Chain A
Amino acid sequence: MKNFLKTLMTITAIAGAALILSSVTFAASSPGTLTINATVAARAELVLAPTTINFADSSPTTVSSVPADNPVAVTARVRTGKATAATLTVASANDLTSGSDTIPISAVSWTASGAPFIAGTLNKASAQSAATFGNGSGTYNGTYSFVLANNWTYNTGSYTATVTYTLTAP
């Protein structure tokens, strides 16, 4: 009888435990999976403002470098790889010209503020680097301030030249 009672008590304990477990069973859950894919391609965007600058007439004796009327704000936006860097160059195909008169384009130089933009001098023979980008993507803001080397030898007239900036994201 003692063994029988012991067996009954064991059964009772097991049954009770089973019932308790069943009563606290949490919600059945059926998880799913959603896969997200995204593609990012290389691209570049350059904004210069203003796109025209002017150098006023001044005495070469008192003003050796004529500042442009406005600085040029520059914004470069690039998307490239983690281990590659964008480039920004400025090319000037011609000298400043006024009819048959010219002023060497190398008389125009600039300083820069804001990384990664750098100072330089225009060159008709080869495009000049205008920024030194680090690797990877990003948006960069800066300013170029241009000056024209003043010289008594310039013939009178209105001179113009066009330069081309090229931003490349490999």
Chain B
Amino acid sequence: MLNKQARNLLIVILAVVGLGVCGSQSYAAIAFTLTISPSSITFPDANPSSVAQIPGSATVLIKVRVTNGANQNWSVHLLANGDLLNSDGVSKIPIANLTWTSTMTGNACAKGCTCVPGTMSSTVPQDVIRGLGNTPTGQFNCNTAFSLKNQWGYNTGSYNQTITVVTSSP
């Protein structure tokens, strides 16, 4: 039915598709499941003369599950959407005054995962977890304790800002 040229082309197509199927198994995309709890924390008022760093109202538990990670490096990072903004619409607290420490809870990753301390930025994403390969038995957990530098220069009011937590793999 088909001439020789058509048969050869069909063979090429099948070969390409076959390689593609095999390739897609090798290069399945790394997948993340991220959980943050609680999703909101509060820093109460405190006297800057006696409290240099205000601890957050709760420790934030960041859980990440990585599948199809194989030997890939990955990270969870934080990026603020701006400085802490006062309800007066003008006054700000520099977001760099927000820092955190982070401690692993639960199981470690077979190939290595790390909870990373840092300083918040609204311009450069800051790693809070770094890892390699898949997470252990479901997920990797970091207890993240935020603190806010306390200064007399802050104007009175209620401040707030949102932090975007993003997973990525290069």
The minimal Cβ–Cβ distance linking A2 to chain B, given in whole angstroms, is 10
Inter-chain contact count A-B, CB under 8 Å?
A: 174
Judged by a CB distance under 8 angstroms, whether B13 is at the interface is yes
User: Is the Cβ of B154 less than 8 Å from the Cβ of A5?
Assistant: no
**A139 CB–B CB distance under 8 Å:** yes
- Bound-state CA distance A147–B135 (Å) is 74
Chain A proximity of B52: nearest CB distance (Å): 14
In the complex, chain B residues 46-90 whose Cβ is within 8 Å of any chain A Cβ: 47-49, 54, 60, 72, 74, 78, 84, 86, 88, 90
Q: Is there contact, CB below 8 Å, between B168 and A80?
A: no
- Pick from A16-24, A96-104, A122-130 the stretch touching chain B: A16-24
Question: Who on chain B is nearest to A83 by CB?
Answer: B88
How many residues in A have their beta carbons less than 8 Å from beta carbons of B? 44
B162 engages A34 (CB within 8 Å):
yes
The 3 A-B residue pairs with the shortest CB-CB distance, nearest first, are A27-B169, A19-B20, A38-B43
| Subset of 21 A-B contacts with CB under 8 Å | A1-B6, A16-B16, A23-B23, A23-B24, A27-B74, A28-B29, A32-B36, A34-B40, A34-B163, A35-B161, A35-B162, A36-B98, A37-B159, A40-B86, A41-B45, A41-B156, A81-B157, A82-B86, A83-B88, A137-B152, A138-B153
